[in-house]
Amino acid sequence: MPTPEDLRQEEAKVAQAEALLASAHVQRQMLTIASPIDATVTSISTNPGDAVDVTKPLAQLVALDRLVVDVDLPADQLPANAQGLEAQVFAPGAKPTDAPTVTGKIGFVSPQVDPKTGAVMTSIDLPADAALRPGLAVRVRIVAEEHKDVLAVPRAAVVNDENGDPVISLVEGQQATHKRVTTGAEENGMIEISADDLKPGDTVATAGAFGLPQASHVKVMD
């Protein structure tokens, strides 16, 4: 029969084996990298056997059902309540007349304006079934507000006079005369204008309007 000393030695061996097993479990856990989200690995920045730098990422993950579009918007054109606005996203190659590829909403608006560009960083949350891939350069149209039954002219038709006020060169007969206007929303190369006695069908100078003086003799070409 084993003596008490033999039992103590065997128990010590069992305890040592259990400690080694626990250490092996810990080492195995340390060798297993788990993602905090369900995502797709898009790139790996290390190779098997390399020494790992804990300050650098090992892999890049993308949750394809949680894509966002980063857009820098001019601060002077950004509505105060921009968060939550509808954003139409067009895939590369889409024409201005095409329907949007997908529609999302502005989910984040930075509180800070970039002093170099005057832009505000925003991000647009896309739906889970967005048919887009990470890294694409897309075109975005944000519907800030709608103005119906307004007058609009090509953007090149509106210039600033010597006082810095927006004016158009209104053509009547063979005379082009500056007329001060109030500008509004812009889209697709057109800008909203309003002024007294301005009506649909009026002729304005577009190409070369910047160089026209207060009053000019012009010839309208068909």
Together in a domain, 178 and 157: yes
> Among 120, 142, 164, which residue terminates a domain?
142
Domain assignment of residue 159, yes or no: yes
> Residue 135: which domain range?
68-142
What is the pLDDT at residue 215? 66
Q: Which of 149, 11, 9, 142 is nearest to 88 (CA)?
A: 142
Together in a domain, 102 and 162: no
Calculate the alpha carbon distances from 14 to 8, 141, 153, 162, 174 in Å: 10, 69, 89, 94, 107
What is the pLDDT at residue 214? 66
Tally Cβ neighbours within 10 Å of residue 184.
Answer: 14
pTM for this prediction: 0.56
> Among 142, 169, 200, which residue terminates a domain?
142
Domain assignment of residue 186, yes or no: yes
Two tokens at 63?
A: 């949750």
Distance between CA atoms of residues 134 and 145, nearest Å: 29
Domain assignment of residue 95, yes or no: yes
Domain assignment of residue 170, yes or no: yes
Domain assignment of residue 5, yes or no: no
In three-state secondary structure terms, 23 is: helix
Q: What residue type is 107 in one-letter code?
A: G
Together in a domain, 135 and 82: yes
What is the pLDDT at residue 212? 63
Report the domain count for the chain. Answer: 2
> Among 142, 173, 196, which residue terminates a domain?
142
Question: Within the chain, which residues score under 50 in pLDDT?
Answer: none
* CATH number of the domain residue 79 falls in: 2.40.30.170
Together in a domain, 166 and 105: no
